[in-house]
């Protein structure tokens, strides 16, 4: 059986403590994953981080950009650690339930991020000349200097969808070593990305990979200079006051339609449906709410009709876009929450797998218990709210797609600190661009600007 070792600054380590990666359907282990104890993580991070920083510092940013492109290609196309691209897709599907077609789509997304690293960095740095990362400053009429805020980036990763890993990959191009804690059900993607980087010529010291428990995850966040945490409400709450940690909790992304466009609502149904159901509804950029001034009943009915075409299919069916729950009990717990909110059961069993069918709930007010919820399947509420209540009534929202030309509404949305990414027009919430960081800015997270002046004798 395949074994996935810990990586301690590039050195493989087999733990006595092995956790099986379980196939969601057969319930049989398909691999053993070495688990890192907290003390081991502490020891590595207390003793060895400078070596990792120095290893990346030996490369120029341009060399690292080229390395990212090679790694992206290897990730998509090569056999890495005896894993073919197809085996990778099957592994992701086996432990998360994600259909093969969606896993391949996410592979392409990661490859695209790596291939476009120069564009990504331009977006993150707002076109600061890349030399600044190599020598620490640029002299001239407007001197610029940045310094790293921490020695490494610790990332506590999710299991929901491989595409999310594109958020931390630029760390390597930004000369910041990575300390990764993979999601318990998805050890594959971060490991394959690391393997791709190593094969592309990245220094092994720059990578730590620690499958571990909550205590280990917390230790990673405490001991790396900067961190990213993907987690549910409970997990991110504990780090809410720590500015070193960029939090990626539920997105509560929404589509808002203005008064000026609402009577044309049928023309937007495809955009709404894509926002809700793309990637199996498993992303934080998937819409979990449609907030409109009127026609909510008709919109909810039309969306329900449209999404009812999404049905459970076999994992390897190219048409499959709905993922079963790798842990059926999770589906049943969510279903119980939906039923407590007044819905009938949404559970569907297909070919031995447990699904939640795409669900639209018409809520009569933002106080409805399901009005502002997010779950790991295509789910959205539809609400009527007065336009003048937008955006403050939305609450924190990762992505707002605002279908409107109303200048006052657009200005309010632009001014709102609660909106992470703003799409204006009939754009799905999951539309992203590499030069537009949609969830925090990794460069700002990893680097700070200092005042700088240089007088050469």
Partner 1 sequence: MTTQAARENLDAWTREIVAWHFSPETGAPFWLDYAAKLGWDPRKEIHVYNDLDKLGEFQDDWLRGGPVQRWIPRGYAGKPVYVFETGGSTGVPKSRISIDDFRIDYEHFSTTLPDSAFPKGADWAHIGPSGPRRLRLAIEHLCQHRGGVCFCVDLDPRWVIKLIKRGAMQEVELYKQHVIDQTLTILKANPNVKCLFITPKLLEALCEKVSLRKLGITGIFCGGTEMTPQWCRFAVEELLDGVAFHPTYGNTLMGLAVSRPLRAEENYAIVYYPPSPRAMIEIVDPDNTTQVVDYGQTGRVRLTTLTKEFFMPRFLERDEAERELPYEKYPWDGVKNVRPFRQLEKSVVEGVY
Chain positions contacting partner 1, by CB under 8 A: 15-17, 35, 37-40, 42-43, 46, 158-161, 183, 218, 222, 230-235, 237-238, 248-251, 281-284, 286, 330, 333-334, 336-337, 373-376
Q: Smallest distance, Å, CB 418 to partner 1?
A: 17
- Give the residue with the Cβ less far from partner 1, 6 or 117: 6
- Coil, strand or helix at 46: helix
Q: Which is nearer to partner 1, 253 or 404 (CB)?
A: 253
User: For residues 8 and 175, which CB has a smaller minimum distance to partner 1 in the complex?
Assistant: 8
Is-contact 217 234, C-beta < 8 A? Answer: no
Residue (of 62, 71, 154, 63) closest to 113 by Cα position: 71
Shortest reach from residue 282's CB to partner 1, in Å: 6
The least distance separating partner 1 from the CB of residue 242, rounded to whole angstroms, comes to 9
Q: Whose Cβ is closer to partner 1: residue 125's or residue 189's?
A: 189
Shorter beta-carbon distance to partner 1: residue 164 or 419:
164
356, 347 in Cβ contact below 8 A?
yes
Our measurement of the distance from residue 427's CA atom to the centroid of its chain's CA atoms, rounded to an integer in Å, reads 19
Q: How many angstroms separate the CA atoms of 156 and 202, rounded?
A: 21
The two structure tokens encoding residue 362: 């018409």
Instruction: State in angstroms the smallest separation of the CB of 50 from partner 1.
Output: 16
CB of residue 42 to partner 1, shortest distance in Å: 7
CA-to-CA distance for 287 and 252, rounded, in angstroms?
7
Query: Residue 427 and residue 155: Cα distance in Å, rounded?
Result: 30
Greatest alpha-carbon pair distance for the chain in Å reads 78
Residue 72 or 99: the one with the smaller Cβ distance to partner 1 is 99
Q: Which is nearer to partner 1, 234 or 243 (CB)?
A: 234
The CA distance from 165 to 422, in Å, is 21
Please report how close the Cβ of residue 246 comes to partner 1 at its closest, in angstroms.
14
- 432 with 136: CB under 8 angstroms? no
- Rounded to a whole number of angstroms, the minimum distance from the CB of residue 330 to partner 1 is 7
The minimum distance between CB 363 and partner 1, in angstroms, equals 16
Measuring CA to CA, which residue among 9, 43, 61, 12 is closest to residue 204? Answer: 9
Q: Residues 23, 26, 30, 35: is their CA dihedral positive or negative?
A: positive
Residue 377 is classified by DSSP as S
Q: Integer distance in angstroms from the first to the last C-alpha of the chain?
A: 64
CB of 425 to partner 1, least distance (A): 25
Instruction: Report DSSP letters for 66-116, one per residue.
Output: HHHHHHHHHHHHS-BTTB-HHHHHHHHHHHH---HHHHHHHHHHHHHHHHT
Nearer residue to partner 1 within complex by CB, 9 or 175: 9
Q: Which is nearer to partner 1, 43 or 450 (CB)?
A: 43
């Amino acid at each position: 059986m395949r074994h996935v070792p810990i990586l301690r600054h590039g050195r493989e380590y087999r733990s006595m403590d092995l956790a099986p990666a379980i196939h969601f359907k057969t319930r049989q282990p398909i691999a053993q994953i070495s688990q890192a104890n907290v003390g081991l993580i502490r020891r590595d991070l207390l003793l060895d981080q400078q070596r990792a920083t120095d290893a990346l510092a030996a490369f120029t940013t341009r060399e690292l950009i080229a390395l990212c492109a090679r790694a992206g290609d290897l990730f998509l196309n090569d056999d890495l650690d005896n894993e073919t691209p197809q085996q990778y897709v099957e592994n992701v599907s086996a432990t998360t339930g994600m259909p093969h077609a969606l896993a391949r789509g996410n592979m392409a997304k990661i490859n695209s991020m790596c291939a476009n690293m120069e564009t990504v960095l331009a977006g993150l740095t707002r076109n600061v000349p890349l030399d600044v990362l190599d020598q620490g400053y640029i002299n001239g009429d407007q001197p610029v200097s940045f310094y790293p805020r921490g020695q490494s980036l610790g990332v506590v990763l999710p299991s929901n969808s491989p595409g999310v890993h594109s958020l931390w990959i630029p760390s390597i191009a930004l000369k910041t070593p990575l300390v990764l804690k993979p999601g318990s059900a998805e050890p594959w993607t971060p490991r394959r990305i690391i393997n791709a980087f190593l094969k592309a010529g990245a220094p092994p010291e720059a990578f730590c990979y620690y499958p571990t428990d909550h205590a280990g995850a917390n230790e990673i966040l405490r001991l790396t200079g900067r961190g990213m945490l993907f987690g549910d409400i409970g997990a991110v709450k504990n780090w809410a006051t720590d500015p070193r940690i960029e939090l990626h909790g539920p997105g509560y992304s929404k589509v808002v339609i203005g008064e000026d466009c609402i009577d044309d609502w049928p023309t937007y149904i495809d955009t709404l449906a894509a926002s809700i159901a793309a990637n199996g509804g498993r992303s934080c950029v998937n819409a979990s709410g449609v907030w409109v001034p009127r026609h909510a009943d008709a919109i909810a009915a039309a969306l329900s009709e449209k999404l009812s075409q999404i049905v459970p299919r076999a994992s390897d069916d190219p048409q499959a876009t709905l993922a079963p729950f790798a842990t059926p009990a999770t589906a049943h717990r969510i279903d119980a929450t939906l039923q407590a909110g007044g819905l009938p059961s949404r559970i569907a069993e297909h070919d031995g797998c447990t699904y939640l069918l795409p669900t639209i709930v018409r809520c009569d007010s933002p106080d409805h218990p399901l009005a502002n919820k997010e779950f790991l399947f295509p789910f959205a509420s539809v609400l009527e709210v007065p336009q003048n209540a937008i955006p403050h009534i939305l609450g924190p929202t990762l992505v707002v797609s605002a279908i409107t030309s109303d200048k006052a509404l657009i200005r309010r949305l632009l001014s709102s600190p609660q909106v992470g990414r703003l799409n204006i027009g009939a754009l799905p919430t999951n539309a992203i661009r590499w030069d537009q960081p949609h969830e925090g800015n990794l460069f700002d997270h990893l680097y700070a600007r200092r005042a700088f002046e240089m007088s050469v004798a």
